[in-house]
């Protein structure tokens, strides 16, 4: 890994916000999924949550034009499972929903651990999901239409969260756990070896402060061998 690549990845890791996320409830158009994941990466969101009803093939291939390398997508069987996972992390749950109790999205305190629910393009957030939310929010609009594209709405909320968090000094400090940082350093800095490890079922080695792989000789031998050949090393 070059020093420039290492510096860029480390700078990104220092900006990650592990207690900020979005949850996509059956968002089904690939261009919206792509835009939302790319925005999450731009804001510093390290992982998002997704609930897909039906065939789960919308995030395969190059859907997010590289953003999926940096943003982990957690898939859930139901919105209840997804919200339960976020509750375990102590997150407040925000839903975009035009209701009597809805407040301006800018009035929410996003410096708290926060999950933002975004619903399906046509039907919006389900009633089940709305019942699980702590707050309903709206994006004020003065035109003839009453809703924004889902990817646009999520971008507005995420950038408001970024604005508040920057003002609170929450960026520029390493908040991701070390294991996740090591994974991203290896996959982002040594993609060829990362692919070999996945193909051969090898553990990822540690990356040192200079961005170099720290691994025993046996690991290097297994990288160069076929899986059947390295079995003799363990006998």
96 annotated as a binding-site residue: yes
Pairing of strands 206-207, 213-214: antiparallel
Residue 53 near residue 122, CB atoms below 8 Å: no
Is 187 in contact with 69 (CB distance < 8 Å)? yes
Q: Where are the beta strands (DSSP E) in the chain?
A: 20-25, 47-51, 72-76, 92-96, 103-104, 114-118, 135-138, 206-207, 213-214
How far lies 235's CA from each of 219, 228, 232, in Å?
15, 12, 5
Q: Is 139 annotated as ligand-binding?
A: yes
Q: Are 3 and 11 in contact (CB under 8 A)?
A: no
Residue 46's CB: how many other CB atoms inside 10 A? 22
**Both structure tokens of 98:** 């035009």
Binding region for S-adenosyl-L-methionine: 96, 139, 148
Binding region: 96, 139, 148
């Amino acid at each position: 890994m070059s020093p420039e690549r290492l510096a860029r990845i480390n700078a990104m890791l220092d900006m990650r916000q592990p207690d900020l996320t979005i949850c996509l409830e059956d968002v089904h158009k690939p261009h919206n999924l792509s835009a939302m994941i790319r925005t999450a990466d731009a804001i510093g969101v390290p992982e998002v949550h997704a609930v897909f009803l039906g065939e789960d093939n919308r995030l395969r291939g190059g859907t997010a034009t590289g953003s999926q390398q940096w943003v982990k997508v957690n898939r859930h069987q139901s919105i209840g499972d997804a919200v339960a996972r976020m509750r375990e992390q102590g997150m407040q749950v925000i839903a975009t929903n035009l209701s009597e109790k809805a407040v301006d999205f800018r009035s929410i305190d996003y410096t708290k651990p926060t999950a933002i629910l975004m619903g399906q393009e046509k039907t919006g957030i389900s009633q089940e999901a709305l019942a699980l939310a702590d707050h309903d929010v709206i994006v004020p609009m003065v035109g003839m239409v009453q809703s924004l594209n889902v990817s646009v709405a999520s971008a507005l909320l995420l950038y408001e969260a970024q604005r508040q968090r920057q003002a609170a000094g929450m960026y520029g400090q390493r908040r991701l756990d070390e294991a996740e940082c090591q994974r991203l350093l290896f996959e982002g800095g040594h993609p060829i070896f990362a692919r070999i490890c996945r193909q051969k079922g090898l553990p990822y080695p540690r990356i040192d402060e200079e961005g170099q792989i720290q691994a025993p000789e046996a690991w290097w031998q297994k990288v160069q061998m076929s899986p059947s050949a390295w079995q003799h090393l363990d006998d």
